[in-house]
Amino acid sequence: MTESYRSAPVVDTSRSPHARLRPVGVDSVKLADGFWAPRLDVNRRRMLPSQYEQCEKTGRLENFARAAGRPELPFHGPVYNDSDVYKWLEAACWTLAGGTDPALVELVEKTAAAITAAQQPDGYLNTAFMYEKAGERWANLRDMHELYCAGHFIQAAVAHCRATGGDKLLATARKLADCICSVFGEGVGKRPGAPGHEEIEMALVELARQTGEERYLEQAEYFINARGKGIIGGSHYHQDHVPFRELNEVTGHAVRALYLACGAADVLAETGDASIAGALHAQWDNFVTRRMYVTGGAGARYEGEAFGKDYELPNERAYAETCAAIASFMWNWRMLLAEGEAKYADCMETALYNGTLSGVSLDGDAYFYQNPLADDGTHRREAWFGTACCPPNVSRTLASLPGYFYGVSPEGLWAHLYASNEAEAELPDGRKIPVVQKTRYPWDGDVELEVNGGGGFGLMLRIPGWCGKGASISVNGKAHRCTVKAGTYAAVKREWKPGDKVRLSLPMPGRLIEAHPHVFENAGRVALARGPLVYCVEEVDNPRLDVRGVGLKDAGGFSAVFEPDVLGGTVVLKGEASVEPAGEDWRNALYREARARRRKSPPVPVELAAVPYYAWANRKACRMQVWLRKS
């Protein structure tokens, strides 16, 4: 059994004619000790094995044995259960891209064989529509998730090919894609159709990139163009109410909407279609300026797991599905590759460190589906779900994470995210540039990059939008003169010599964030942040406080203290706040006539401790707040 695993990037824009950047593959970036390496290790050691066990325990894997010729076996679970196996497989493949693991190799090849055995002679692959239900294939694209499952399988097969170098599973994926292309589209013998849950679009584009087969790109374009004509009911929920090029907001089911944007961004990188670009820009602006949580979360409503109206961002009832934060991360990555603008990397970082990482416990064995921004202690992570999309989605994101740190273009090497790592990037002219990055980010803002390539090229360093003024760059101990502005890439252009060291210093004071006035729930409230991390207050750290009454005046008095024994090692923000109790005059009353405020005594000053939002609910159940009163 082969263990010669290798990899290309998750999204391969190396030959995309309208993409500004191409990423550096996950096998070319080795994360060192620091913030992310332990989390990737937890994913490999605990999350992936336990998720595989859940897929066995819940019958998801047995469904493939049934489809392969065991009709006496029952079908287990919802019609979309196959997708969880596919996401697990993709996660396992990206994990192996960074280093072999014989036990994981065995599970990967066993799962791949079971999937291939379940494929039907015409290429169809979906375990829910076998035997007595074979006549229902493709009959209800809106609700039955056949194309959604197909998309996840295609992405897993591409990952398997890039990680192993083998093409057996890719051949299975091509056969399925050929089946889909033969059924749907315009022209003689084809039928109209579009997926109720988007996913197939970006999968088909990536398959086209992997194989060079133009038909798969054309099929992805067809599915995007087919929407908005009432083909699956015409609802906002399914993004079917207007044609994509006229869609100027993120609406309906949040994950579906953002997956659609991902697929469209992939098509944009291949075609340069200006009308698609315009729609994506309008949707991105609507999302980031009106419908995104401060944590990068997406989706305000439990009803339909959906976006709300502009500025509708409740805290305790926030849905903010983990998969939706991941979808935002994926969309912004594709926009970054297409256009090279730092604002997309900023959004990636926010969604990754906050809205995504909160979706898994620190020990890797429990998960959030929803990620509220306030809680009374009743919302806790679970080991698995009946609809288990989030756990393997977190795993595949973490497993592929090394591939998001760097990019290359004719201008040179781009550093998008910061973590201790060793990387080797190949510039378009063929020069290989080894880089060693050392940092404690996100705990502090000092980043050192040792560049071990020679000759002239640019090193583009992202200056995060959150850092304000004061960022600086030095080369070999001397200040480097270039434009250093928050929310952009600073270009360090020079003739390089092996061993040159670049130091990026990002100021990281605590800061208060306020929401747009139309976010009524946060009127008079502020959130505490430091660097890329949003903080929250849990009563376990503040046992004598009701966090609902805590008020903050400013962030200047807060000190950042690294606590190695708190939440696996974290920077805790400690400082002065105030508490204003509801008061005796509110006892047994919910409403009263408004009157001038009379205060018998000033608010009580207290010492407050805040922890990163991603780490909440890892200790005993208690109240949690992100948004606190503004004193």
Q: How many Å apart are CA 298 and CA 281, to the nearest integer?
A: 17
The residue among 92, 89, 61 whose CA lies nearest residue 75 is 61
Print burial letters for 268-278: b (CB count within 10 Å at least 16), e (below 16): bbbeebeebbe
Instruction: Residue 79: count other Cβ atoms within 10 Å of its Cβ.
Output: 20
- What pLDDT is recorded for position 98? 81
What's the whole-number mean pLDDT along residues 13-21?
97
Banded model confidence at residue 6, pLDDT cuts 50, 70, 90: low
Percent helix, strand and coil across the chain, each rounded to 5? Answer: 40, 20, 40
Q: Which amino acid is at 388?
A: A
| Opening angle at CA 608, ends 605 and 610, nearest 5 | 155
DSSP-based three-state secondary structure for 205: helix
What's the whole-number mean pLDDT along residues 373-382?
98
- What pLDDT is recorded for position 553? 87
Q: Which amino acid is at 183?
A: V
Print burial letters for 419-438: b (CB count within 10 Å at least 16), e (below 16): bbbbbbbbbeeeeebebbbb
pLDDT digits (tens, 9 = 90+) for 143-201: 999 999 999 999 999 999 999 999 999 999 999 999 999 999 998 999 999 999 999 99
Radius of gyration of the chain, Cα coordinates, nearest whole angstrom: 25
- Segment among 66-70, 156-160, 335-339, 591-595 with least mean pLDDT: 591-595
pLDDT digits (tens, 9 = 90+) for 503-533: 999 999 999 999 999 999 999 999 999 999 9
Supply the mean pLDDT for the chain.
95
- What pLDDT is recorded for position 471? 97
- What pLDDT is recorded for position 100? 78
HEC secondary structure over 341-353: CHHHHHHHHHHHH
pLDDT digits (tens, 9 = 90+) for 301-346: 999 999 999 999 999 999 999 999 999 999 999 999 999 999 999 9
What's the whole-number mean pLDDT along residues 93-115?
93
- Read off the tokens for 345: 């990397």
Q: What are φ and ψ of residue 550, in 5° steps?
A: -75, 140
Q: Quick check: bond before 442 cis, omega within 30?
A: yes
- Read off the tokens for 558: 């807060």
Banded model confidence at residue 592, pLDDT cuts 50, 70, 90: confident
DSSP-based three-state secondary structure for 191: strand
Element at 399 (helix H, strand E): helix 390-399
Catalytic positions, please?
305, 389
HEC secondary structure over 487-553: CEEEEEEEEECCCEEEEEECCCCEEEECCCCCCHHHCCEEEEEECCEEEEEECCCCCCCCHHHEEEC
- What pLDDT is recorded for position 584? 59
Indicate if the pLDDT at residue 589 is higher than 90: no
- Read off the tokens for 214: 């133009």
Cβ neighbors of 171 (< 8 A, separation 6 or more) are none
Q: How many Å apart are CA 355 and CA 624, to the nearest integer?
A: 15
Write down the pTM of the prediction.
0.97
DSSP-based three-state secondary structure for 436: strand
DSSP 222-266: HHHHHTTSSTT---TTTT-SS-GGG--S--SBHHHHHHHHHHHHH
Q: Which amino acid is at 424?
A: E
Instruction: With both helix axes pointing from N to C terminus, report the angle between 254-271 and 214-226 in degrees, rounded to the nearest 10.
Output: 130
